Amino acid sequence: MKILIADDDPVSLRLMQRTLQNYGYEVVTATDGLQAAQVLSSPGGPRLALIDWMMPELDGPGVCREVRSRHEEAYIYILLLTSRQSTEDVVNGLEAGADDYLTKPCIAAELKARLHTGLRVLQLEDKLVEAREEMRFKATHDALTSLWNRAGILSLLSSELSRSSRHHTPTSLLLCDIDHFKKINDTYGHPVGDEVLQQVSLYLRHLVRPEDAVGRFGGEEFLIVLGECGKAALKERAEQIREEMSRVPFITQEGSISVSLSIGAITIENAHKSLEIDSYLKQADAALYRAKAAGRNQVVYVESPVTV
């Protein structure tokens, strides 16, 4: 665990550094309050800190206030080192944002115990953050494919159209449907159908840019959001996705299965005129229906999108 020691007394700093290294900590040092605040606020900085109360540039409570004001995502546990023992001083330090305090000179056993308390608090905070992120992921992602779910991809589409409106850039959509998916389920069973959905999802993520978004729109339908993608680029990329998907066989527990996609594609070039998402999706869906009616495994484009 990385820990910061901030003290302007070089002798005290070296002694504390040696003690904490013997405890197994990775020690980072600072000799004034401003430097300490910068280290604690830097990406990947220590999350455990021993801060001397009296320091140049910024005192211990000042460091606490500065760190707390920056609203770091990961919590930083701060202990103030002080020779002050009055209740008023202790209260002022805690109100400034310190989590605990130690009276100088420190007793080794007490120092070790209070640091362990800090570690337990940080471990608990990590577990809570992990649980929160897991809940957030489950709320926005499809359980089977790990793609964005319908609500998640629509939220991203809304954000992308807003960005497109501000920067006057085009956004393109691909509404994709796995051809003859019902036949796959009927022939091989739903577990194999699930395998196909998972592999198609993985391959779609591979075929788009990192900044693009892929979501499971429902059943065997997928929605792909391509930011800053105009009509010419859309035709190139849509055909690449369709061709690559039909070329690669998917290996399942029942053997190799060939899959193709029918795609309805639309480019939104004037998002500032309308952010009515349903209108664009309906037009892409109509194009998808025409692709399926025309024999499947092809892309149909909305040549002149209707804005509302």
Q: What single-letter amino acid sits at 288?
A: L
39-48, 192-201, 272-281: range with highest mean pLDDT: 192-201
- For residue 175 the two structure tokens come to 């509404």
Average pLDDT over residues 224-253: 94
Residue 160 is among the residues annotated as catalytic for this protein: no
In eight-state DSSP terms, residue 307 is: P
- Cα angle, residue 287 at apex, residues 281 and 291 outer, rounded to 5°: 140
Average pLDDT over residues 273-291: 87
Which range is least confidently modeled, 29-38, 63-72, 270-279? 270-279
Spell out the domain ranges in the chain: 2-138, 150-302
Average pLDDT over residues 243-264: 94
Q: Is residue 280 a contact partner of residue 158, using CB atoms and an 8 Å limit?
A: no
pLDDT for 271 equals 67
Q: How far apart are CA 2 and CA 81, in angstroms?
A: 18
Whether 85 has a pLDDT exceeding 80, the answer reads: no
- For residue 227 the two structure tokens come to 């930011």
Q: Which of 50, 51, 46 is nearest to 62 (CA)?
A: 51
Task: Mention every residue, 6+ apart, whose C-beta is less than 8 A from residue 254.
Answer: 188, 189, 192
Q: What is the pLDDT of residues 116-126, one digit of tens each?
A: 999 999 999 89
The pLDDT-based confidence of 308 (bands split at 50, 70, 90) is low
Which range is least confidently modeled, 108-117, 183-192, 259-268? 108-117
Whether 148 has a pLDDT exceeding 60, the answer reads: yes
Whether 10 has a pLDDT exceeding 80, the answer reads: yes
Q: What single-letter amino acid sits at 278?
A: D
Whether 105 has a pLDDT exceeding 90, the answer reads: no
pLDDT for 291 equals 97
Which range is least confidently modeled, 157-166, 254-263, 273-282? 273-282
- If one compares 264 and 57, the residue with the highest pLDDT of the two is 264
**For the domain 2-138, what is the CATH code?**
3.40.50.2300
Whether the predicted model's global pTM rises above the 0.75 cut? no
- For residue 17 the two structure tokens come to 């550094």
Q: What CATH class is the domain 150-302?
A: alpha beta
pLDDT for 191 equals 95
The pLDDT-based confidence of 302 (bands split at 50, 70, 90) is very high
pLDDT for 115 equals 92
Check 73, 220, 221, 228 and give the catalytic one.
220
Q: Which of 127, 122, 114 is nearest to 23 (CA)?
A: 114
pLDDT for 89 equals 72
Percentage of residues in the chain with pLDDT exceeding 70? 95
Q: How far apart are CA 215 and CA 175, in angstroms?
A: 10
- For residue 253 the two structure tokens come to 């527990």
Our CA dihedral for 106, 108, 114, 117, rounded to 10 degrees, sits at 170
pLDDT for 69 equals 87
The pLDDT-based confidence of 187 (bands split at 50, 70, 90) is very high
Average pLDDT over residues 59-67: 90
Characterise 196 by phi-psi region: left (phi > 0), alpha (psi -120 to 50), beta (else). alpha
Whether 70 has a pLDDT exceeding 70, the answer reads: yes
Percentage of residues in the chain with pLDDT exceeding 90? 66
112-116, 236-240, 304-308: range with highest mean pLDDT: 236-240
Arithmetic mean of pLDDT over the chain: 90
